[in-house]
Homo-oligomer: A and B are copies of this chain.
Amino acid sequence: MFIEMDLQSEVPLYAQLVDQLIEGIASGALHPGDPLPSVRSLAADLGINLHTVNKAYTLLKQEGFLQVHRKQGVVVNAEGMPGVTEAFERKLDAQLKTLAAEAAVRGLSAEAFAEKCAGAYRSAITGGGESL
């Protein structure tokens, strides 16, 4: 399994799991229709509580990334991913602005910042950690 939890991180475990599952879909490691591990087995694998996994799955279901299939359990939404919602756009803009401001203050040029962003996108869709 390509998922790793950082117990020291200030990011909640369920949020880490949400992020990594989305990265898994972005990188092509998970395709629409693919089944995910059951909450119990994934919790056991990761060494965390099943409710924590459940919370991550529930959030992703509500956002439309996952579905509960009555026979196959939890699967990646087979009808495709949710589009760019207004809420996501707001979140993206707000976080990018905050990051960009700190980057600018610290002396990172517009070009360097743009390259960081491009690298992050490339890294996300290839699943690699390189070019970061």
Q: A23-B98, A132-B93 are in contact. Are A84 and B106 (CB under 8 A)?
A: yes
CA distance A114 to B113 in the complex (A): 10
Is A101 on the interface with B (CB-CB < 8 A)?
yes
Which of the four size classes fits the interface of chain A?
Answer: 35 or more
Is A102 on the interface with B (CB-CB < 8 A)?
yes
CA distance A43 to B112 in the complex (A): 36
Q: A97-B120, A100-B117, A100-B123 are in contact. Are A7 and B88 (CB under 8 A)?
A: no
Interface members, chain A 18-70 (any B CB < 8 Å):
19, 22-23, 25-27, 62, 65, 67-70
Q: Is there an interface contact between B25 and A105, defined as CB atoms closer than 8 Å?
A: yes
Q: A101-B19, A101-B22, A105-B22 are in contact. Are A117 and B124 (CB under 8 A)?
A: no
Residues of A whose CB lies within 8 Å of any CB of B are 7-10, 13, 19, 22-23, 25-27, 62, 65, 67-71, 81-85, 88, 92-93, 95-108, 110, 113-114, 116-118, 120-125, 132
The 6 A-B residue pairs whose C-beta atoms are closest, nearest first, are A96-B120, A117-B117, A101-B124, A26-B101, A100-B121, A100-B124
17 more contacts with CB within 8 A, not counting A88-B106, A110-B121, A114-B114, are: A7-B69, A8-B68, A13-B70, A23-B98, A25-B105, A62-B62, A81-B105, A85-B106, A92-B99, A93-B116, A96-B116, A99-B120, A100-B117, A100-B121, A101-B124, A104-B124, A114-B117
